[in-house]
A and B are shown apart, each in its own frame.
Chain A
Amino acid sequence: MIEVGFGLLLIAAAVAILSGVGGLLPGASGVDLLPLLGYGGIGFLLATGVLLVAAGLARRAIGRQPERRHALRTARLTTVALLVAALLAIGLPLAVGPFNLVRIGGLPFGYYLAAQGALIGLVVLAFAWAARQGRIDAEGARHE
């Protein structure tokens, strides 16, 4: 259940920063984090939090219902893979600003990421996804 706890903390932090009370939280240094993180950064925090909670709940469900193990593991893999795909194809290009501050061989890194990096990442994701689902299927077949 530790993922759920961390996830809820992250979601709470994101909501706190969004509502402007970030500086009032115990332990915070009184700095408003909104300008620093931007809405993209807060979206990332929220997504990570939701992902952690979902992962924790899925693990719990798998523990409780061993007969649905295969379906739940497949659903978890699909969710994670879809989030990674969304991050590569949408999140990365939308958060291109900070990456563009870095230049490699004269090429702004953010532009490179959107032009090639994200595409290569998507192909790696495709092979990893196929291999992982293959393993889940094979294990499912062995248990049956």
Chain B
Amino acid sequence: MSEATASAARRSWISAEPLAGLAAAGQAVPVALLASLPGLVFVAGFDHLAYGLGLLAGVVLAGLLIAPHVARTGAATITDALRHRFGRATAIIGAIVIVLVVLPLLAAELTFVGVLAEAGLGVPYLVAIFVTLAASVAATLWLGERAFAWLAVAAYGLLAASLFFLLGLLAFKAHGIVLPHIAFGQALTAISGHEGTLLENGLVDFDTFTVHVAPFLRLSGRDFLALVISVALGTAVLPPLVSALAAGRHPHISRMTGAWAALFVMLVLVSVPALAAYVKLAIYGALAGDTPLAALPSWLAPPLKADLAHVHGISLAMLSRAADAVGAGAADPAAIADHLARHALAAEQRWLALDEQVRAAIVAAARTISADASGDALWQAYVGQVLPVAATAAGNEAAMLTQAALVIEPLGLLLALPALSGAPGWIAPLIVIAILAAALVMATALIRSLRALVVDEPAASRSWRAPAVTLATAAVAAGFATLRPDELVTIVVSALSLGAAGLFPVLALGLAWRHATAAGAIAAILAGGGVTLYYDVGIQVFPAAFYRTWAPISNAADFAIEEFATLETDAREAESEEERAAAAAALETLARGTATRHGLANWFGIDSASGAIFGVPVGLLALVLVSLLSRFRPSRDKEP
């Protein structure tokens, strides 16, 4: 233990276990996912608690299982540990998996920053992305380990403080001074009262409505299991988290640091269900209290402006862009659709799904406001001219705000939080800045973990390779982010899933088991990562072909299978090329599934993002079998 005492003597404040744990917590959870959690739990109640359970279990496994193994090899990063234990080839293949995991995470983080900065601070999307990127690259190249750790501590502290502040305000509004983590039971009771009212009055859409505390309405038990496993094992091998816990530490210190990191992540995660409960209480209170659309609550304005919420399919952003289009001379629906598609494809699809008279009402309203486009005039036109027509078209005769009419996306809920909690107006930008700071730290941690792939020694960071790789990878991620992908949560979970399948077997078992060989490690990474990548890409890109190959183990219902067969016949017997293309496209959509309907292409009904549930067992099996088979050959990689 002399090594430990020697390092203890050299320890400064930041390497004391609790503080180092706090710094690791700041690099543990992709903020794009963390900030979506209240919105996710708001939408699906119990089922989306899976994310929080997975994240915390992942931090525990990273600290107690993976990081000590990495630290024991004397390495600071995952690839270093693979190189020390299994040699160069394994390290290179591991590095490829790390790139495939970190790039989408970084792109999601940058997109999140862009969306939040645009909606919350009024900074243009691309400007926000490139400022963040420049700051992250600068912090990667010029900030030392210790300074970056302090930055992570500060950012995580700010994030937690703003979350606690909002939670405290919301709880105070509902029932005075209480400890919200315990008192939110009362909020849940009140919510179930409101849910009862909504159900009795027939104000719900069963495609999107979920009884908050009831389990397994949105996800089946099997989906829940797959999601927890994918998120947990993916977080356990998240490169920046493992490096933060393992770097230069004795295994015992890295375990204690991991436990402290888990404690700090837990403090934030236990606040999420309470926050979701109070938000739901406020929003369902408005829904059950017969709020007319004419008196639309003002807390809906921020998400409506950002196109992250819509009422009867229409957001303020859509109206404002339609006004731009009309001002530019476009008047027919197709031209406006083109204009909307320039900002977001989802907005165009919602526009095309609207009724003829609703679109006419939007165009008419757009004409009245295109002259003076102040925010107030826009709001008046939206509430006064557009929503009544939309409500009538949707059969909402009383023109009330209903659960069926109102859709809030997870990030939209985040934007509505400050106003919902009754915080003064100047608080909202501060909270946005705190969340952006946490996202910036996470983005920097991801870029640093990419740079670490080419830097063996601190001295080598002087060479041209590290800055070149840093810049190149950052540019690729920024390229993805400029496409403004939706579904940030799916991107994050898919990336974690791939990381889990590729790296978890070799890090959890390979580093610990003395009979593991380099051949076994390579087989584990390729087989595990390959299966998960095939599952995700296969379903997203070739859904119909995927379903045809794996029809016997798909959980598709009989009517869906019949629909698929009918469409296949249509595609085969189509007379014109256009008909054939339309039928083929419908076939792909049916097989892939949509937000409200499961696709046919799956194994046992598991979501395409949660493929780690197949990849991890395959990887473990490959590691054991190939290691045992290759053991009897003399190999220079085989070291105890």
Q: Which residues of A are interface residues toward B (Cβ below 8 A)?
A: 71, 75, 78, 81-82, 85, 88-90, 93-94, 96-97, 100, 104-108, 110-112, 114-116, 118-120, 122-123, 125-127, 129-130, 133-134, 137-138, 141
- Interface: B339 (CB within 8 A): no
- Interface: B97 (CB within 8 A): no
CB-CB under 8 A from A118, the residues of chain B are 53
- Interface: B181 (CB within 8 A): yes
The reply to whether A116 and B270 contact each other, CB–CB distance below 8 Å, is yes
- Using a CB-CB cutoff of 8 Å, which residues 504-561 of chain B contact chain A? 512, 514
Give bound CA distance, A105 to B512, whole Å. 46
The reply to whether B1 and A141 contact each other, CB–CB distance below 8 Å, is yes
Which residue on B lies nearest to A118, using beta carbons? B53
Shortest 10 CB-CB contacts between residues of A and residues of B: A107-B185, A106-B189, A115-B273, A126-B259, A89-B57, A130-B255, A105-B185, A111-B213, A126-B262, A89-B53
Of the candidate stretches B103-111, B138-146, B222-230, B325-333, the one touching chain A is B222-230
The reply to whether A134 and B185 contact each other, CB–CB distance below 8 Å, is no
CB-CB under 8 A from B186, the residues of chain A are 105-106
Give bound CA distance, A93 to B222, whole Å. 12
The reply to whether B64 and A129 contact each other, CB–CB distance below 8 Å, is yes
The reply to whether B213 and A119 contact each other, CB–CB distance below 8 Å, is no
- Interface: B157 (CB within 8 A): no
Of the candidate stretches B44-52, B75-83, B368-376, the one touching chain A is B44-52
- Whole-angstrom distance from the CB of B587 to the nearest CB of chain A? 35
CB-CB under 8 A from A116, the residues of chain B are 181, 270, 273
Chain B window 264-285, contacts with chain A (Cβ cutoff 8 Å), 1 for yes, 0 for no: 0010011001100000000000
Which one, A88, A115, A123, A130, contacts B49 given CB within 8 A?
A: A115
Given that A89-B53, A106-B188, A106-B189 are known contacts, is A94 also in contact with B224, CB under 8 Å in the complex?
yes
CB-CB under 8 A from B512, the residues of chain A are 75, 78
The reply to whether B185 and A106 contact each other, CB–CB distance below 8 Å, is yes
The reply to whether A89 and B232 contact each other, CB–CB distance below 8 Å, is yes
The reply to whether B252 and A137 contact each other, CB–CB distance below 8 Å, is yes
CB-CB under 8 A from A119, the residues of chain B are 52-53, 56, 266, 269-270
The reply to whether B188 and A107 contact each other, CB–CB distance below 8 Å, is yes
| Most chain A C-beta atoms within 10 Å of own C-beta, residue among B57, B224, B251, B262 | B57
Give bound CA distance, A127 to B54, whole Å. 18
- Whole-angstrom distance from the CB of A123 to the nearest CB of chain B? 5
- Interface: B469 (CB within 8 A): no
Which residue on B lies nearest to A111, using beta carbons? B213
The reply to whether A108 and B213 contact each other, CB–CB distance below 8 Å, is yes
CB-CB under 8 A from B593, the residues of chain A are none
The reply to whether A89 and B228 contact each other, CB–CB distance below 8 Å, is yes
Which one, B53, B256, B274, contacts A130 given CB within 8 A?
A: B256
Chain B window 163-193, contacts with chain A (Cβ cutoff 8 Å), 1 for yes, 0 for no: 0000000000000000001101110110000
- Using a CB-CB cutoff of 8 Å, which residues 1-57 of chain B contact chain A? 1, 46, 49-50, 52-54, 56-57
- Whole-angstrom distance from the CB of A99 to the nearest CB of chain B? 10
CB-CB under 8 A from A114, the residues of chain B are 46, 49, 53
- Whole-angstrom distance from the CB of B29 to the nearest CB of chain A? 13
Q: Which residues of B are interface residues toward A (Cβ below 8 A)?
A: 1, 46, 49-50, 52-54, 56-57, 60-61, 63-65, 68, 181-182, 184-186, 188-189, 213, 215, 221, 224-225, 228-229, 232, 251-252, 255-256, 258-259, 262-263, 266, 269-270, 273-274, 512, 514
Given that A93-B215, A94-B221, A116-B270 are known contacts, is A126 also in contact with B258, CB under 8 Å in the complex?
yes
**How many residue pairs bridge A and B at CB < 8 Å?**
119
CB-CB under 8 A from B224, the residues of chain A are 90, 93-94
Besides A93-B224, A119-B269, A134-B256, 5 other A-B contacts (C-beta < 8 A): A89-B232, A90-B228, A94-B221, A126-B60, A127-B263
Give bound CA distance, A108 to B262, whole Å. 26
The reply to whether B255 and A134 contact each other, CB–CB distance below 8 Å, is yes
Interface of B is mostly: helix
Give bound CA distance, A123 to B59, whole Å. 10
Given that A93-B49, A93-B224 are known contacts, is A122 also in contact with B60, CB under 8 Å in the complex?
yes
The reply to whether B266 and A85 contact each other, CB–CB distance below 8 Å, is no
- Whole-angstrom distance from the CB of B213 to the nearest CB of chain A? 4
CB-CB under 8 A from B189, the residues of chain A are 106-107
Give bound CA distance, A110 to B46, whole Å. 10
Give bound CA distance, A130 to B61, whole Å. 11
Given that A119-B269, A141-B1 are known contacts, is A130 also in contact with B215, CB under 8 Å in the complex?
no
CB-CB under 8 A from A127, the residues of chain B are 259, 263
CB-CB under 8 A from B53, the residues of chain A are 88-90, 93, 114, 118-119
Give bound CA distance, A90 to B57, whole Å. 10
CB-CB under 8 A from B514, the residues of chain A are 71
The reply to whether B185 and A85 contact each other, CB–CB distance below 8 Å, is no
Give bound CA distance, A125 to B52, whole Å. 16
- Whole-angstrom distance from the CB of B181 to the nearest CB of chain A? 7
- Whole-angstrom distance from the CB of A144 to the nearest CB of chain B? 11
The reply to whether A123 and B185 contact each other, CB–CB distance below 8 Å, is no
Give bound CA distance, A134 to B252, whole Å. 6
A–B complex contacts, Cβ < 8 Å, 10 sampled = A88-B57, A97-B215, A104-B185, A114-B49, A118-B53, A120-B270, A122-B57, A126-B60, A126-B258, A126-B263
The reply to whether A123 and B263 contact each other, CB–CB distance below 8 Å, is yes
CB-CB under 8 A from A112, the residues of chain B are 185
The reply to whether A111 and B188 contact each other, CB–CB distance below 8 Å, is yes
CB-CB under 8 A from A104, the residues of chain B are 185
- Whole-angstrom distance from the CB of A139 to the nearest CB of chain B? 12
Which residue on A lies nearest to B250, using beta carbons? A137
Give bound CA distance, A16 to B313, whole Å. 55
CB-CB under 8 A from A90, the residues of chain B are 53, 224-225, 228-229
Which residue on A lies nearest to B262, using beta carbons? A126
CB-CB under 8 A from A105, the residues of chain B are 182, 185-186
CB-CB under 8 A from B52, the residues of chain A are 115, 119
Give bound CA distance, A133 to B540, whole Å. 43
Which residue on A lies nearest to B53, using beta carbons? A89
- Whole-angstrom distance from the CB of B43 to the nearest CB of chain A? 15
Give bound CA distance, A111 to B263, whole Å. 21
CB-CB under 8 A from A126, the residues of chain B are 60, 63-64, 258-259, 262-263
Which residue on B lies nearest to A78, using beta carbons? B65
The reply to whether A123 and B266 contact each other, CB–CB distance below 8 Å, is yes
The reply to whether B266 and A115 contact each other, CB–CB distance below 8 Å, is no
- Whole-angstrom distance from the CB of B544 to the nearest CB of chain A? 33
The reply to whether A94 and B225 contact each other, CB–CB distance below 8 Å, is yes
| Most chain B C-beta atoms within 10 Å of own C-beta, residue among A94, A100, A126 | A126
Give bound CA distance, A120 to B262, whole Å. 10
CB-CB under 8 A from A82, the residues of chain B are 65
Give bound CA distance, A78 to B185, whole Å. 35
The reply to whether A123 and B262 contact each other, CB–CB distance below 8 Å, is yes
- Whole-angstrom distance from the CB of B279 to the nearest CB of chain A? 14
